[in-house]
Structure 1
Amino acid sequence: MALPAPAGPVLTRGVVIASYLLVAGTLLLVMWRGLLPGLLCVCLGFLLTRWLTGCLVKATRRVSNTPVRTLRLAQVAAAGVVMLLPLVLLAIGLTHSRGYLVEAPQQYRELLDYMARTVLELRLKLPPDMAAHLPEGAAEIQRTIAAYLGAKAGALAMAGRAWLAGLLFAYVGLLIGALAAVRPPPGDLRPLAQALRTRIILFGEAFRQIVAAQFWIAAFNTVLTALFLLFVLPMWDMALPYTPMLITFTFVAGLVPIVGNLVCNVVITIVGLSVSPLAAAACLGFLILIHKAEYVINAKVVGRRTHMGVWELLSVMFVAEAVFGPAGLVAAPLFYAYLKKELVAVRLV
């Protein structure tokens, strides 16, 4: 009499440890070689394709009685939309805003130079009675900040090729994620493949929880900031220069929890100071107001789902930024959320 086949692969401790080491090595390689945009877009393409597939299946279920065929067609259609939509948006952008897209590093270099000049002219921008009360060391602080901004502007002047390479990596990652989402489900997996699949599932859950939530928070912040910069300030005759760059920077900075909001506040307030002290005060007040609302959303959405405190996020973000630079700020919340999921899964925390 034949014995029944085992229910699944036997995962030994060595196999599990090997899967941990492979995932950790892959994440370190991503950070070392600057492939973070590609990794994030792999996850984004996968989740978007799965979400669109579910929407299409629900929409077509009423008119089709062949669920397998409907599912496959929905998968192909969803993957096609995810892969082609960026090309369509890029074509539209090149048609209407070619200079802004291609010369974005140069434009942000000019913005940093503009901020440096504004900081140096701080005493001239303030009312005389207020400027007289500035401490003697304020001039040295102004020169230090201006020198820092000028150094960052010089680095951005050489970033054109890196900008285009990052866009290419992001699009390739989107393609990989879309194709992975529509591949047929695997059959029997070997022990190491099964362990790696578990690691990938946990990483995907961390991405969905923290990055997707932060994306919507950044989008909410950007919409309110765009309304303020494009409509409210011009109504008061206090329109700011470099408004398109400021709106784009608001969204990109908003993807970084906590620190991104602070940096965005500083940049827009300095640009507002170049117009008038009243404009700077209006910008600062408005940004504090919307970011207070954003903190409430962040605490409820991100903190509740990932069980991470503000002090934890700040700690890992500062360490990651010191090791990997600006990319570490973006990757730290995601990688830490994944690490915490792994620790919770084995009941260590």
Structure 2
Amino acid sequence: MGMPAAPVSAPSAPLGVRVASYALMAGALWLLLGHGLLPGLLFACLGFLVTRWLAWQFARLGRRKPLTPLLLRWAQICAAALVMLAPLALLMLGLSHSRGYITEAPQQYRELLDYLARTVLELRLKLPSDIAALLPEGAAEIQKTLASYLAAKAGTLAVAGRAWLGGLLHAYVGLLIGALAAVRPVASAHRPLAQQLHLRITRFGDAFRQIVAAQFWIAAFNTALTAVFLLGVLPLWDLHLPYSPALITLTFVAGLVPIVGNLVCNAVITLVGLSVSPAAAVACLGFLILIHKAEYVINAKVVGQRTHMGVWELLAVMFVAEAVFGPAGLVAAPLFYAYLKKELFAARLV
């Protein structure tokens, strides 16, 4: 991010100290993931990296002057203050202009899932008669099962407001922790266990920067193109998809989950397009295939080359993590696995 890379090695330590640091790191990640604190962990890493980057940029503004410790300290304080206060300013701006959308987000997605359930039940009516006649009779039962599943998830989202706000609170607290950790005074010396824990955390931060930062920009790229398509291209053909703001937001959130998020997003947008017309569904599917093919090329080069992870590895880890931890495991799997591979590579085991 324009900063000198943090050291990723530490003086050799006794085997017992190294094992203790591995155990503490693994236990901390397990507790954070198992108790719903993943948003806090991710935003703590984000706050740390952004604060360090901003501090470096602020310090470079005064490059014509000698870079004294006092100047560097003031740059760190200004960066931390900006990171901690910016979300509050954005929240106030959002509440003043988009209060209904923010506070009613779970309700909007509940309505979207209800809409998808009705679309699935009316699939034969939406398709041309010659194509609908080719569907097997058993498809009706499949449609009812899928519609019941979507309706059940819609009921769950109807009462998800508390979890929504709790996740936002954990994320902001994590952001504060990360910003404060980035500007903490550097100790002159560390004991062996502290040195090893610092090494573990540094490698985890490297994995976060490689995986999450790359995926964030990929998701932002997808979201921008999807917004242009839904709000700009389709209206030119006199096609208007309902729940477009919710679909655009879903594109970004789902895009943060590699591979699986794209599949979910594709299915939802195509179903909504089918509810309008078969032509809209075909247009949506073709557009999504096009941009996601481009994304896979970017993902393979940006993420795969940096972390040495194959697609089959990523899918296997995500499958297991989702089965154990649910959706949080699905999100955390690429990051945790990238960190694990870094540790194994540093130990010359892979």
**Which TM-score band applies after superposition, normalised by the shorter structure?**
over 0.9
Distance across 2 between alignment mates of 1:98 and 1:36: 26
Aligned counterpart for 1:14 among listed residues 2, 8, 16: 16
Amino acid at match of 1:77: C
Contact 1:9 1:189 (C-alpha < 8 Å) held by counterparts: no
Aligned to 2:119: 118
- Once the two structures are TM-superposed, the CA of residue 69 in structure 1 deviates from its matched residue by 2.1
The secondary structure found in structure 2 opposite 1:11 is coil
The secondary structure found in structure 2 opposite 1:134 is coil
The secondary structure found in structure 2 opposite 1:53 is helix
Aligned to 2:203: 202
Kindly indicate whether residue 44 of structure 2 is the aligned counterpart of residue 42 of structure 1.
Answer: yes
- Cα distance change of structure 1 residues 10 and 214 upon mapping to structure 2, 3 Å threshold: closer
- Once the two structures are TM-superposed, the CA of residue 70 in structure 1 deviates from its matched residue by 2.0
Cα distance per residue 1:105-145 (max 9 Å; x no partner): 11111111110011100111111111111111111111111
Amino acid at match of 2:200: R
Aligned to 2:339: 338
Cα distance per residue 1:289-340 (max 9 Å; x no partner): 0000000000000000000000000000010001111111100000000000
Distance across 2 between alignment mates of 1:68 and 1:190: 25
- Once the two structures are TM-superposed, the CA of residue 235 in structure 1 deviates from its matched residue by 1.3
User: What is the percent sequence identity of the aligned residues?
Assistant: 75
Distance across 1 between alignment mates of 2:282 and 2:78: 49
* Structure 2 segments unaligned to the other structure (5+ residues): 1-9
Aligned to 2:265: 264
Aligned to 1:29: 31
Aligned to 1:5: none
Aligned to 2:283: 282
Amino acid at match of 1:95: S
Distance across 2 between alignment mates of 1:156 and 1:60: 50
- Cα distance change of structure 1 residues 347 and 9 upon mapping to structure 2, 3 Å threshold: closer
Distance across 1 between alignment mates of 2:346 and 2:140: 54
- Cα distance change of structure 1 residues 10 and 308 upon mapping to structure 2, 3 Å threshold: closer
Distance across 1 between alignment mates of 2:200 and 2:342: 10
Q: How does 1:128-147 map to 2 (within 5 A)?
A: 128-147=129-148
The secondary structure found in structure 2 opposite 1:248 is helix
Q: How does 1:60-209 map to 2 (within 5 A)?
A: 60-62=62-64, 64-209=65-210
Distance across 1 between alignment mates of 2:206 and 2:35: 24
- TM-score normalised by structure 2 residue count: 0.96
Aligned to 1:53: 55
Q: How does 1:197-276 map to 2 (within 5 A)?
A: 197-276=198-277
Amino acid at match of 2:319: F
The secondary structure found in structure 2 opposite 1:308 is coil
Distance across 2 between alignment mates of 1:213 and 1:109: 30
Amino acid at match of 1:117: R
Contact 1:9 1:190 (C-alpha < 8 Å) held by counterparts: no
Distance across 1 between alignment mates of 2:322 and 2:49: 27
- Once the two structures are TM-superposed, the CA of residue 194 in structure 1 deviates from its matched residue by 0.8
Please provide the CA RMSD for this pair. Answer: 1.1
More displaced 10-residue stretch of structure 1: 34-43 or 122-131: 122-131
Distance across 1 between alignment mates of 2:19 and 2:67: 43
- TM-score normalised by structure 1 residue count: 0.96
Aligned length: 341
The secondary structure found in structure 2 opposite 1:184 is coil
Distance across 2 between alignment mates of 1:227 and 1:313: 30
- Cα distance change of structure 1 residues 301 and 10 upon mapping to structure 2, 3 Å threshold: closer
Amino acid at match of 1:27: L
* Structure 1 segments unaligned to the other structure (5+ residues): 1-7
Cα distance per residue 1:198-227 (max 9 Å; x no partner): 100110000000110000100001000011
Contact 1:46 1:177 (C-alpha < 8 Å) held by counterparts: yes
Aligned to 2:5: none
- Once the two structures are TM-superposed, the CA of residue 65 in structure 1 deviates from its matched residue by 2.6
4+ aligned runs moved over 2 Å, structure 1: 64-67
